[in-house]
Structure 1
Amino acid sequence: MMNQLSDELYDSIMQEMNQGDNASENEFFKSALKHYESALNLIPTPQTDWEIALHVYTALGDCCFNLGNYPTANSYYNKALLCPDAVEYGYVWLGLG
């Protein structure tokens, strides 16, 4: 059975993700990174046990990639692969090249 986050915690994570996405879409990648890191810090440990972490790690990877920080981007994409359903999520593989 997959772990379920409380609605309140899920909403808090998604609020940070949405703010990060808005910043990223406007190419404010450093601001986006802060929101994605905040989202990640809200996820209970071990974070890779949670499906939502797949999207947070992927967003972090994309953001670091856009900032030219390729080793950190690669690290986040690899963490994303440890999350539930990640192997079937082709976008992570695209990020890894």
Structure 2
Amino acid sequence: MPTAQCLENMQKKQPPVYCGDSYCGQLQPEINRYCNNAGLEANTPVPQFGPDGKCCCGGGGALAVPVEVEAGVYRLSKSKGDTIRATGTGLSS
């Protein structure tokens, strides 16, 4: 399912129609891969030709990863190439 921001962005497209969870859900891994390879930002509507004609699926979601930048403060990773460092729960800082 696309984010609220992505649905809002779809309203600016022609046609402003979401293809639906069942249709987009089947394509989401390919859509995310396409968006990552194309360098598209999170919440980018990706036009499709769905079962009922032209519509959009949410894309770029893989780029929108919440990252804790300081204790209790998060921001979304939005750009291809952002560096994210992580550790397992058994490691300390």
TM-score scaled by length of structure 1: 0.25
Whose Rg is larger? 2
Bigger strand fraction: 2
TM-score w.r.t. structure 2 length? 0.25
